[in-house]
């Protein structure tokens, strides 16, 4: 009987330690919350860069790829042509409602398609 009681006590101590260890860990956010936060941070950095007229930093939010596409008054394909039109002030012609397509790659979330009208 003493042996059974000792085993039961050890089980309760082990379960209690396990529950306490679980409670000590900070709860982690679901992955989609962290991904959304990363995209929101990228957009906020892009807004700040635009407001400082810092075009190179603004463009860091776009994927540096020949496939990156901007659709506005004209279609531009490729990171360099998009950077050129932005740096030369052509972006002022494309404002209003926009939609962005993002892709997560080795450098994090980047815009691969920008449609502004």
Give the count of domains, the chain. Answer: 1
82 domain-assigned: yes
19 domain-assigned: no
20 domain-assigned: no
Q: Cβ atoms within 10 A of the Cβ of 22, count?
A: 9
16 domain-assigned: no
Alpha helices in the chain (DSSP H): 2-24, 31-51, 55-59, 79-87
72 domain-assigned: yes
10 domain-assigned: no
Strand order in the sheet with 108-116: 75-77, 69-71, 108-116, 98-105
84 domain-assigned: yes
Question: pLDDT tens string for the chain (117 positions)?
Answer: 444 333 333 333 344 444 455 455 556 668 889 999 999 999 999 999 999 999 999 999 999 999 999 998 889 999 999 998 887 776 666 667 889 999 999 999 999 999 988
Q: What is the CATH number of the domain that holds 55?
A: 3.10.450.50
Q: What's the confidence (pLDDT) of residue 27?
A: 61
In whole angstroms, what is the distance from residue 89 CA to residue 64 CA?
20
Residue given tokens 């939609």 in the structure block: 99
97 domain-assigned: yes
Q: Which domain holds residue 50?
A: 31-116
Residue given tokens 């956010």 in the structure block: 29
């Amino acid at each position: 009987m003493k042996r059974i009681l000792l085993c039961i006590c050890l089980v309760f101590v082990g379960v209690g330690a396990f529950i306490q260890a679980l409670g000590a860990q900070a709860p982690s956010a679901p992955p989609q919350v962290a991904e959304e936060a990363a995209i929101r941070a990228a957009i906020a950095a892009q807004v700040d860069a635009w407001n400082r007229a810092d075009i190179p930093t603004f463009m860091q939010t776009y994927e540096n790829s020949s496939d990156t596409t901007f659709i506005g008054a004209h279609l531009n394909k490729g990171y360099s042509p998009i950077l050129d039109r932005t740096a030369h002030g052509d972006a002022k012609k494309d404002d209003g409602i926009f939609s962005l397509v993002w892709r997560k790659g080795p450098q994090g979330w980047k815009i691969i398609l920008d449609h502004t009208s």
